[in-house]
Structure 1
Amino acid sequence: MGLKHSIPSSEGFSKIFSSPDFKHSSSRLLILSKENALKHSRLGVAIRKKDIKLAVNRNKIKRKIKGSFRSKVLELPKRDYVVLVKKGFSEKDVKFKKDLECLWDKFIK
């Protein structure tokens, strides 16, 4: 995923957090989205240090989320998306990938 598909600044995140157009969640994840004026979708991932202690684990989760986004980016509406990881999440969780796919599918429909 190149820089073109990343939300570049905290200002971009703030706009989505303050007034998202859509929200979809599971027990492990929350995805917020907002319209953008670009011709492509963008992704931001927010994981609190308080929730996932080790940077190694936070980075693994981010890689998996970005990989999932990359596989769906052509199908998704042209919006900005922020994925929030909820407390108690484990990157080894088997249902994580399935939850993420289901959430992306909700945006596609």
Structure 2
Amino acid sequence: MPLTPPPNYTGLYIAAALGASLAAVVALFTRSTLPIVGDSQHNLPHGGRYRDGTKAIDYFKPAKLNSVEPGNHWYAQPWLLVLLLVALICLSGRHAPCCPRCNRVHSA
């Protein structure tokens, strides 16, 4: 009985991972997170006005992009808070160069 190596499934796993990643990215970028407004016949997610002979609907646009943003103030935006935290982390990591062996600063 000849010895044969086991089948190599790495290509299959890579293809499955790429397919699942692509499906997740497409699903995340194509879904709408806007609030649903309107009724079963009229969908106005960005606000608007609908009038016909018997019905008049006025919906206003959403005031903010998500529930994290408190309003239109520039200092309360999530992206700015992330940038400030990254800057604080980078600046707090800077200290005097020390010797890795004795953990002291030597004069050059």
TM-score, normalized by length of structure 1? 0.20
Larger radius of gyration: 2
Q: Which has the higher strand share?
A: 1
Q: Which has the higher helix share?
A: 1
Higher relative contact order (CA 8 A, sep 6+): 1
